[in-house]
């Protein structure tokens, strides 16, 4: 996310931080480069103009010009203005005092409404609620089947009617079902439509008027840039929306939609999709995103993802195994799986402050798959006692895992180094992994 704009802004601020004294000319040159970076990132022109003007007014104040660290002060101002541009604070889904809370998903074809509906349902289910998904996309072939499949994956029931072609009737029956079965959340997946299609937009208005949803969420493909912003504005004017979900953020290196859409629509971004997997949906925190854009990392989101992936009891069991010096290959394989479940490794490393400044920061996911394959090719006895791994055993493991003996030797060496390091730090709060280890 935001890779292109982050690199350019870091370059601009690096020049400013190198100056002991900043003059008005220096700020003007820097802001000219910031303006160009934002426009190249496909940020709305009016948004860029207002953004630059606000920064210039604050950056020319005495607090900056007379500061001992003027470059840092300018970065602080930019961070604050990006936060303001993105909405300042995280906006949660508004729950109805009289369940079920109805959430209506709207947007263009292919924006990711169906998958996002399931992701939000999964999020509510993990919070202990009882969501119901409603298949109201009666236009696209197999849309109902897609939602039913996703619902079964996350353990959330789906209301669907293959006979009716009237979305108003389907949602009315779904609401009755939700009340009878005591569902406190009802998520309605509507058909994608163009904002210029008057008949389909009229149909959407009818569905909204009959349902009176607590939340109407516009789902936008972040990779479409300003097109997403334009369509969001049109949907808001014609239908009325309460919030925005930006999908495919992991593939959007520019970030123009995220930096424009809230300012243009005056509606909050509530979630961002950061991957295709059903668990890859993040609540939108403006301050954290601003930090990512400026290369400051996002350690809070990293911690939250780790908490979701690592069970407390399992963590305590692992800690005990480390203290008892009984950390096995099975433990290593399990931890690798959990790390991979948190998302793309490059994205995880990018959340660590300072890591975005490391050039050519690339982690090969194949290394993890190779390690897992090698461990899986070991016998149970070999996984618990690495000392018996002689030459013939290593050759057998290499053949079984489709790797080389050199690969097997490398994994065993890294495992031994890790055990030594864990043993060295037993009883201490921080653990530092060997540099040769792939994570």
Residues paired with residue 220 on neighbouring β-strands, in sequence order? 246
Least confident range of 43-57, 118-132, 303-317: 303-317
Q: How confident is the model at residue 277 (pLDDT cuts 50, 70, 90)?
A: confident
- Looking at residue 431, what is its pLDDT? 43
pLDDT > 90: percent of the chain: 30
Tell me which DSSP letter residue 89 carries: S
Task: For the domain made up of 3-86, give the CATH fold.
Answer: 1.20.120
Q: Give the mean pLDDT of 245-264.
A: 82
Q: How confident is the model at residue 62 (pLDDT cuts 50, 70, 90)?
A: low
In this structure, the number of other CB atoms found within 10 A of the CB of residue 321 comes to 15
Q: How far apart are CA 75 and CA 67, in angstroms?
A: 13
Least confident range of 59-73, 107-121, 261-275: 59-73
Assess contact for 223 and 2: CB atoms under 8 A.
no
Side by side, which strands form the sheet with 158-159?
158-159, 131-136, 185-190, 101-107, 215-221, 243-247, 269-273, 281-283
Least confident range of 261-265, 314-318, 333-337, 390-394: 314-318
Please name the residues in contact with 25: beta carbons below 8 A apart, sequence gap of 6 or more: none
Say if residue 100 is preceded by a cis peptide, omega within 30 of 0.
yes
Q: How far apart are CA 155 and CA 2, in angstroms?
A: 34
- Range among 13-27, 64-78, 366-380 with highest mean pLDDT value: 366-380
pTM over 0.85: no
Task: For the domain made up of 303-424, give the CATH fold.
Answer: 434 Repressor (Amino-terminal Domain) (1.10.260)
Q: How far apart are CA 166 and CA 139, in angstroms?
A: 10
- Looking at residue 201, what is its pLDDT? 87
Q: Counting beta carbons within 10 angstroms of the beta carbon of residue 439, is it exposed (0 to 12), middle (13 to 18) or buried (19 or more)?
A: middle
Residues 191-238: tens digit of each pLDDT: 887 777 788 888 889 999 999 999 999 999 888 888 888 899 999 999
Instruction: Provide the residue ranges of all domains of the chain, joining segments of one domain with +.
Output: 3-86, 101-285, 303-424
- Does 358 score more than 70 pLDDT? no
Residues 136-154: tens digit of each pLDDT: 888 877 889 999 999 999 9
Task: For the domain made up of 101-285, give the CATH fold.
Answer: Rossmann fold (3.40.50)
């Amino acid at each position: 996310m935001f890779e292109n704009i982050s690199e350019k802004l870091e370059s601009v601020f690096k020049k400013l931080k190198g100056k002991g004294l900043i003059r008005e000319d220096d700020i003007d040159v820097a802001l000219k480069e910031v303006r160009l970076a934002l426009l190249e990132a496909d940020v709305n022109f009016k948004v860029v103009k207002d953004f630059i003007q606000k920064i210039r007014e604050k950056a020319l104040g005495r607090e900056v010009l007379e500061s001992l660290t003027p470059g840092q002060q300018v970065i602080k101002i930019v961070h604050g203005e990006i936060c303001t541009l993105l909405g300042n604070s995280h906006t949660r889904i508004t729950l109805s005092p009289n369940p079920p809370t109805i959430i209506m998903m709207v947007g263009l074809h292919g924006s990711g409404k169906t998958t996002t509906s399931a992701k939000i349902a999964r999020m509510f289910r993990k919070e202990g609620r009882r969501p119901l998904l409603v298949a109201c996309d009666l236009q696209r072939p197999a849309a109902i089947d897609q939602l039913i499949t996703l619902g079964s994956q996350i353990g959330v029931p789906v209301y669907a009617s293959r006979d009716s072609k009237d979305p108003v009737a389907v949602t009315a029956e779904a609401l009755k079902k939700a009340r009878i079965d005591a569902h406190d959340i009802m998520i309605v997946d509507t058909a994608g439509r163009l904002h210029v299609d008057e008949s389909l937009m009229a149909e959407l208005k009818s569905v909204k008027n009959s349902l009176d949803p607590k939340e109407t969420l516009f789902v936008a493909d972040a990779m479409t840039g300003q097109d997403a912003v334009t369509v969001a504005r049109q949907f808001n004017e014609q239908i009325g929306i309460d919030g925005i979900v930006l999908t495919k953020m992991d593939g959007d290196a520019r970030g123009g939609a995220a930096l424009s859409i809230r300012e243009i629509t005056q509606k909050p971004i509530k979630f961002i999709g950061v991957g295709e997997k059903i668990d890859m949906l993040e609540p939108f925190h403006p301050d954290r995103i601003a930090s990512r854009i400026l290369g400051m990392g996002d350690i809070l989101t990293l911690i939250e993802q780790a908490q979701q992936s690592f069970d407390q009891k399992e963590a305590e069991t692992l800690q005990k195994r480390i203290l008892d010096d009984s950390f096995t290959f099975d433990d290593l394989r399990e931890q690798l799986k959990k790390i991979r479940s948190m998302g793309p490794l490059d994205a995880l490393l990018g959340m660590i402050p300072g890591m975005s400044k490391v050039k050519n920061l690339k982690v090969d996911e194949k290394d993890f798959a190779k390690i897992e394959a090698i461990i899986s090719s070991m016998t149970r006895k070999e996984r618990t006692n690495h000392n018996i791994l002689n030459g013939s055993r290593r050759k057998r493991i290499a053949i079984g895992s489709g790797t080389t003996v050199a690969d097997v030797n490398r994994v065993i060496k890294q495992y031994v180094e890790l055990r030594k390091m864990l043993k060295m730090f037993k009883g201490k709060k921080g653990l530092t992994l060997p540099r040769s280890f792939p994570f």
